[in-house]
Chain A
Amino acid sequence: MREKFENTGNKDTRSGFGAGLLEAGRKNPDIVALCADLTGSLKMDAFAAEFPERFIQCGIAEANMIGTAAGLAVSGKVPYVGSFAGFVTGRVYDQVRQAVAYSDTNVKICASHAGITLGEDGATHQIMEDTGLMRMLPNLTVINPCDYNQTKAAAVAIAEHHGPVYLRFGRPSVPNFTPADQKFEIGKAIKLIEGIDVTIFATGHLVWEAITAAELLDKEGISAEVINIHTIKPLDSKAVIESVARTGAAVTAEEHLIAGGMGELISGLLARELPSPLEFVAVDDLFGQSGDPAELMKLYRLDAQNIVLAAKRAISRK
């Protein structure tokens, strides 16, 4: 099963973003990029070097950065705003709400270092509420790609989509396994593995863990379907319903709190349309802490092993 998904080498999703931004910027001269003193961390340096006049350094002033991006968008530019996930969501929620979402400005909010895999910096920087905050806002599209290639493709695709977008990615190097030449379709879930006993809906860094979990389950004679929910909003409801109608049980896996996360969204959908056993692999009402990213993922039960356990629980509740 694994050979279908060859890891071509670990890479960070933020570098995928940087590469995608550069590619999009070469195609579209209206793309501008804004950063608040984290250009290197966001991997925006290549864009800044190639298009210095289109790169706007905002200093450590995220509220003004969001407003400036809205002004650029209103007047016809396609601004990509980059910072850590906590600083372009919670810190500036009101600015995003009024000047971006409510004003329906074509701003691309690009958030790196999302989730607990930020690691050593600790809970101040490890936001696990951002998806929830952003998906509550009308007009906003919320995307959480799973690896370098997909993040790159998403960073290119959002330029073609007119409207505000929240693009979420991370800091650590993780397996890069999706095709380099993929076309990213906003709002279209991707079925990675077909199965009949349970569906694992995963997003972001948890997609690889879900594939690993499906392999472990397969060894125990359990057939798990794996679906990559790279676009959390709008959710591909049809794909969710279609799959759970066949498997009869679901697991959701994400590097986020249960509250406001993709899992809650899917559980709500299933509650309305197709009540089914569902188990969350997500963080339940806790802040993170300093540590090695991979170790933290185990500690907070966000790894393949915990997806396996959740799948068995979901199946047992059928």
Chain B
Amino acid sequence: MTNNYSLSDIASQVRRDIVRMVNMAASGHPGGSLSSTDILTVLFFAEMNHNPEAWRRDGKGSDMFFLSAGHLSPVYYSVLARSGYFPVSELATFRKQGSRLQGHPSIERGLPGVHVASGSLGQGLSVACGAAVTKRLNGEENFVYALCGDGESEEGQIWEAAMFAAHNRLDKLIAITDWNGQQIDGPTDSVMSLGDLEAKWRAFGWEVIVTDGHNLDEISAAYKKAKAGSQNGKPKMILMKTEMGKSVDFMQGTHHWHGKAPNAEQTAKALSQLKETIGDF
């Protein structure tokens, strides 16, 4: 259903989905969802080897994706639905009682595409490590992806996982950091400086790729480069330089929209800046 659309068209629709879902739920996290939209659009619609219709929780025979930064659920649910994991109409239930689309991803109600709950930060990269070990033990060639936030990287567990993956030479593990420089309380540089993130990941023994997280061609090239090193003994970290709230002018570049829902007027203003392509849910 998305075959006839360019990645840029899909990304625009995903951004509309994010704004509308968060508005309809009157809560949620638009800022980071908009900053990671291009990252996940390229991954789910071009680079990842997956079969949404035949999804299995154990991911056998398929690439696996883990959202470590669980509050990015709006963009996650949108790319899952838009790539065929579940009906697009279900996006309207986001954060509503009884919905499979919980505020933060959950497996309790069996939402296809979600392997594990996330939301409490710092855990998803470890889970991805475990899945990568399974694939190695099973002799599977598939990749395991994990998306982390930059603020999330203040969690110690991220660096425990960093050591583990390098020590175990998990070269089919491809982690991504949505490096938008913002977190709830403000810019990461004022809340807790991450310092030279690139040098940190390199020092931990990872292959690091730094790229513009809003340039679709560059994002594709980064994934391709990461996949090309599948036998080099190093886990991969793609640092995607992004802007929080990307493509909605009043949300862009500020932490104020990390976890705030737009009202009706703000939603209309945001949607006027985002082209409807595939069609709203």
Contacts and interface: CB of A to CB of B under 8 A. Distances in A.
Interface of A: 32, 53-54, 56, 58-59, 61, 63-77, 79, 94-95, 97-99, 102-105
A66 B126 contact: yes
Contacts of B82: none
A59 B131 contact: no
B133 A68 contact: yes
Nearest to B134: A75
Given A32-B137, A75-B131, A104-B108, A68 B167 contact: no
Contacts of A74: 57-59, 115-116, 127, 130-131
B156 A63 contact: yes
Nearest to B168: A56
Nearest to A66: B126
A259 B57 CA distance: 37
Contacts of A66: 126
A71 B160 contact: no
B259 interface: no
A95 B158 CA distance: 12
B127 A102 contact: no
Contacts of A94: 120, 123
A97 B168 CA distance: 26
Given A56-B133, A59-B160, 13 more contacts: A61-B164, A65-B126, A67-B125, A68-B126, A68-B130, A68-B133, A70-B126, A74-B127, A74-B131, A79-B130, A94-B120, A99-B117, A99-B123
B157 A103 contact: no
A-B residue pairs, 4 tightest by C-beta: A71-B130, A67-B126, A64-B160, A75-B134
21 contacts: A53-B137, A56-B168, A59-B167, A63-B126, A67-B125, A68-B129, A68-B161, A71-B127, A74-B59, A74-B130, A75-B60, A75-B134, A76-B58, A79-B130, A97-B120, A98-B118, A99-B126, A102-B106, A103-B106, A103-B117, A105-B116
Residue among A32, A53, A94, A102 facing the most chain B CB atoms (10 A cut-off): A102
B233 interface: no
A67 B127 contact: yes
Contacts of B134: 71-72, 75-77
Contacts of B120: 94, 97-98
A72 B106 contact: no
Contacts of B58: 74-76
A125 B4 CA distance: 61
B107 interface: yes
Residue among B116, B118, B130, B157 facing the most chain A CB atoms (10 A cut-off): B130
Contacts of B187: none
> How many B residues touch the partner, as a band?
35 or more
Interface secondary structure of A, over-half rule = helix
Residue among B60, B127, B163 facing the most chain A CB atoms (10 A cut-off): B127
Nearest to B66: A71
Interface string B118-160: 1110111111111111110110000000000000000011001
A99 B116 contact: yes
B164 A70 contact: no
Nearest to A70: B127
A247 B5 CA distance: 74
Contact of B160 (A61, A69, A75, A99): A61
Contact of B128 (A71, A73, A76, A98): A71
A231 to B, nearest CB: 24
B240 interface: no
A282 B58 CA distance: 42
Contacts of A98: 117-120, 123
Residue among A61, A72, A74 facing the most chain B CB atoms (10 A cut-off): A74
Given A59-B163, A67-B161, A74-B59, A102 B130 contact: no
Contacts of A54: 137
A237 B276 CA distance: 58
Given A64-B160, A98-B119, A76 B60 contact: yes
A68 B135 contact: no
Nearest to B140: A75
Nearest to A105: B116
A63 to B, nearest CB: 4
A70 B168 CA distance: 17
A141 to B, nearest CB: 17
Contacts of A102: 106, 108, 117
